[in-house]
Chain A
Amino acid sequence: MKSHVFRPLWIILGVVVLSLIARQFIVPSDFGVGERGFMYSFHRKSNEEEWKAFKVKYRSREYCKECHDDKYSSIMDSKHKIIQCENCHGPAIDHPEDPEKLTIDTRRALCLRCHSYLPYKQSYRSKIKGFIPEEHNPDMECVMCHDPHEPDLEGWQ
């Protein structure tokens, strides 16, 4: 039994034991297998809460309505009622505290997202009033004539 042959083995086992002990201090205590089993939910449980705590930025038109009731009703009476305020005004986040002012995207490019004409019959796109950007007042901003809250030009002079 007094053989030197096993000496490397003891060293290897020692390293294994040391790493298993070290593992106890390194791995977060809530790391383990979750509801979906080892293959699909071997993870740190508290990360789920971290994701839940992520900051919400888009608050929806109901949040805007609380203060901007007039703007809310004006757009809800128009064809643009399907568009959320924040699509053009940017995410509210904690407005009016943070940010104090929202930056409105009034660029022509924003309107073109829907209204640049594309001849795609199988898509809903073809049912939207569209125009060819190069042909319709290419140097002007849309908002110079059209009010996004009242896009129809009925009251236009």
Chain B
Amino acid sequence: MHETYVHGLEWTVKELFTYPNEFIYWTIQIVMYPYLTGLVAGAFVLSSLYHVFGQKDLEDIAKFALVFSFALLLGAPMPLMLHLQHPERNFHVLVTPHFTSAISAFGIVFSFYTAVVATEIWFVYRKFFVEQVNELKNKEGLGNAIKRNIYRVLTLGAYDISPEALHKDEKVSKFLAGFGIPVACFLHGYAGFIFGSVKANALWMTPLMPVIFIMSAIVSGIALCLLTYIVIMEWQKMKIHRHARRHWHMTEEEVKGAEIDLVRKATKYLIGFMIAAITLELLDLIFRGYTAVKSWDILRSVIYGKDFRNIFILQYGIGNLLPFIMLLIPGVNLKRTVIALILVLFGVFMMRWNVVIGGQAFSLTFAGYMEYHMPLIPHNLETAKEGLVGALTVMILPFIFFYFFNKIIPSLRYK
């Protein structure tokens, strides 16, 4: 006899009257997926603020945000792969896309967006690639030879770094940065559409869902970029400081860490998008309560009852209100910003959780409930994939990607 496995049975606790086939089918990985694409979109928007809107004070973080966005982008399909019951068939989405499905857009939009970001990176870094090829020509050793060849491939044979050519690069990368914003919003807006268009789900179905997703995406993207930027820059400062104490010839210029002015500027954007996100979410909630259609009774019992702690304390309280106050009180310093950013990231994560898991917290009967108990310690493949282990894997992966990208296209020190 075949081995049987009822997907969802292990982590779903049912209460009162539910249909027999109802389980929490969309688990932590579907929480991670919009979270990651949100970070991608947000990081890209942050990098574009510099290129398109000429926010010169964001120059330092813009390049970093661009490369970081690419690393996050390559990590984004990972939660979907871990979620699919047949991950080996993932290419079906590309070969027979059924365009009436919001998920089928993923393959196309994702590939398109990857191409846009990769192309922009190429234009921003082409000069650097050419310089590296020339520089490494005179260096010996196998490592340098390999490196030089990598850069040679990366130039795509375009060695012209005359001022005119570079000017063209700049113009194109500016165009792509602008072009990428709607694409990024589309990539993430459609992730919201995946949920917002499910008419069977009373909590998900709202035309505001894509917009809410985009706003919170930008919030989380900016927050993660800023946070990573601060941590890396401060860590380098610390390293240089330690180095400088031993050798007394370091200039003040070299021990510069994260710039508080830049951080303050980016924080302003963060607060703006946060206000937009929260306004929309509250509008949605008020509207549901006011119109009070058939599903409202069960929704209310979930929102104000079962999920009260998750929604009002963890998401709105600790994840939104607290960092909001922290960032608005005058005299913001790096330490306070870092704490606030972590809270913002947590808040957006909780928002995703409350949408994805919260949307499955009540039964289609409107007369019963389901609770997701995330598997912490895995005892088989499913509980590893769709539990804490899978979530952490997905979260760490983009940072590993970024580490390797940064070896080839240094985004933090390169001027």
* Interface, chain A (partner B; CB < 8 A): 3-5, 7-9, 11-12, 19, 22-23, 26-27, 31, 38-39, 42
Contact = CB atoms under 8 A, between A and B. Distances in A.
A7 B169 CA distance: 12
Nearest to B115: A12
Nearest to B176: A8
B381 to A, nearest CB: 26
B157 A26 contact: no
Contact of A38 (B100, B115, B119, B158): B100
Interface string B114-126: 0100110011001
A8 B95 contact: no
Interface string B85-121: 0000001001110111000000000000001001100
A11 B91 contact: no
10 nearest A-B residue pairs (beta carbon) = A4-B158, A8-B119, A7-B156, A39-B100, A23-B95, A12-B115, A26-B95, A27-B95, A42-B98, A8-B122
A44 to B, nearest CB: 9
What's the dominant secondary structure at chain B's contact region? helix
A150 to B, nearest CB: 36
Contacts of B115: 8, 12
B160 interface: yes
Contacts of A27: 95-96
Nearest to A2: B160
Nearest to B120: A8
Contacts of B172: 5
B373 interface: no
Given A3-B168, A5-B172, 5 more contacts: A8-B123, A23-B95, A27-B95, A31-B96, A39-B100
7 contacts: A4-B126, A5-B168, A8-B123, A23-B95, A27-B96, A38-B99, A39-B100
